[in-house]
Chain A
């Protein structure tokens, strides 16, 4: 389809079609905008705010904000990087993240984003240290929401692709978390082959396929070789890499 208008990201000219988000147009042009809740194949939800950019001076989320003709978008400026760092730090502090003992380590998008943003130190925020039970009731699948960043990718995948509604948000505000449609995972009709269970769906280490932890040696894991960017990582980036 022919491109219908142009705008700029950090001074680079980008072509876009009407109706495209800033993120979609950037992906098509091969410009990476960091993201966590948005993933190829699912409707954007606009909740993590890691894709924050400035469009003509206004702070917006690139995954949901339509591209505007002639607009100037700031993506990799120090100010924006600062926002992203704070957002990612808060995600770490909201959950229980012990990367060295987590089987998602090395393929985790949150961890990879932390590295990309240069977050290497303990930060100023308090750790909330929530206590959330692990649901290992299902014969093949575990849900450990201690590491959940509430990206909703499992919810959208189950609802829109698997047509099952296995996962849903429960609770409000600081108590909001991901729950399952039933008392426990074993009561649902979730299966290993579901898109919601695909390792590319949960960006962190919450949805676990049983008995396969640590199969990938250090050095061979997704982000051991390349830092997170467009087309690197499970299901990241839409359009051409």
Chain B
């Protein structure tokens, strides 16, 4: 097929990852496909080689400025296996869970209030000058303050459990190095009821958006896919631990009750020449049909129920919205994200009232093993850490599949879908096109936006070339 033009969209991010979008048109200016190219985590696995296994949970946090806790905990789970511990003490397990819930809460809140709420509340087409967190602060000051305070609360949970807001050290192979003091507990209890109330409001905003913009939400970047996540053995949503479950687009089980340490028997990764990010797929279904989605939307689809009452009600409403079938709408990620925030806050409340958190049994040791696999549900989806450690305690093998990688194919589908709907048969880039691409990618909250999180904007550089490589059109959108 002749490719006469390539459009490049280049988010100018430098810190955690770097991505650009190319849209490939055919002779008739119809979209053939769109690709999200990502340069991410390159060389990181090699950096870990030779390091000592107990350093790894601390080192891997450097992977990401937004979800360091997820990497800290996934690596710790893998290293639990290395030191021969399959079941932590109650205090250790609950401290880690508390940390994890704090992390998902703050990350999801940051994404929703800082990054997505401007798109949702002002509309994708609204002026760039307004469509950012500063616009939200001006137009919806109360909402902005709630977002900031909820994020701060999540960070306080992390500080109390990990020792620091970022790059804490408390999860160690076989357990944790601290419990929750009564002073720390009481400090967090002060605000917890307020957080529950605000989390419910956030769910209502996200749900309201989907209901009020029904046809947009049903069409925009909506496509059938399989979904995968960890769930508790009884099918409840579980963000920290459980078994792997995957369902197809109709909701039929592809696999279930899979011990995550066997993930290599179920998943494979494909390399494509144009991207540094691999494409994982479900082995049994092959590399063409085996791709799947992960993250908040998928977790709502795979979980049978949620074990906290308020989030469970919200989950039922969410399921009803898609008629009880798997929800395939990219924009519903936002709603799912807020249901998870509510679930996390409910879990945090439960844990704060649990005396196990003041226990002093923190650490276990078992028989040393060579291989360790740790999996959990990070804010953006399932996160796999896999290591081998030699007799000298040095890491000899490391493979990480991060949430964004799991969603690689899905993000490519999402932008292809948007490009096809809005670009085909046009000679120039239509107004609002970049915004729509950005909104579609943003629904997945990929790690490549780590750097832009901080500023709440995603700058884009778009270049349009003809077949001979001549620049036809160039647009820069700095997102301010």
CA distance A214 to B52 in the complex (A): 12
Q: Which residue of A lies closest to B173 (CB)?
A: A211
Contact partner of A216 among B51, B83, B177, CB < 8 A? Answer: B177
B172 and A101 within 8 A (CB): no
Q: Is the interface of B mostly helix, strand, loop or mixed?
A: loop
B394 within 8 A of A: yes
Contact A100/B177 with A134-B394, A213-B172 known, Cβ cut-off 8 Å: no
Residues of A within 8 A of B453 (CB): none
Contact A214/B177 with A100-B167, A101-B59, A136-B52 known, Cβ cut-off 8 Å: yes
B55 within 8 A of A: yes
B55 and A218 within 8 A (CB): no
Residues of B within 8 A of A56 (CB): none
Residues of A within 8 A of B392 (CB): 136-137
Residues of B in contact with A, size category: 20 to 34
B164 and A218 within 8 A (CB): yes
CA distance A215 to B173 in the complex (A): 10
B62 and A100 within 8 A (CB): yes
B52 and A219 within 8 A (CB): no
Residues in B56-84 with C-beta less than 8 Å from chain A: 57-59, 61-62, 83
CA distance A220 to B392 in the complex (A): 29
Contact partner of A211 among B54, B57, B169, CB < 8 A? Answer: B54
Cβ distance A8 to chain B, nearest Cβ, rounded Å: 43
A101 and B55 within 8 A (CB): yes
A100 and B58 within 8 A (CB): yes
CA distance A133 to B173 in the complex (A): 24
A116 within 8 A of B: no
Q: Which residue of A lies closest to B363 (CB)?
A: A215
B177 and A101 within 8 A (CB): no
CA distance A134 to B50 in the complex (A): 8
B459 within 8 A of A: no
Residues of A within 8 A of B51 (CB): 134
Residues in B28-67 with C-beta less than 8 Å from chain A: 50-52, 54-55, 57-59, 61-62
Residues of A within 8 A of B172 (CB): 213-215
A215 and B52 within 8 A (CB): no
B135 within 8 A of A: no
B404 within 8 A of A: no
Contact A103/B394 with A214-B177, A218-B164 known, Cβ cut-off 8 Å: no
Residues of B within 8 A of A137 (CB): 392
A213 and B54 within 8 A (CB): yes
A136 and B393 within 8 A (CB): yes
CA distance A136 to B170 in the complex (A): 24
Q: Which residues of A contact B (CB under 8 A)?
A: 100-101, 103, 133-134, 136-137, 142, 208, 210-220
Q: Which residues of B contact A (CB under 8 A)?
A: 50-52, 54-55, 57-59, 61-62, 83, 162-164, 167-170, 172-173, 177-178, 392-394
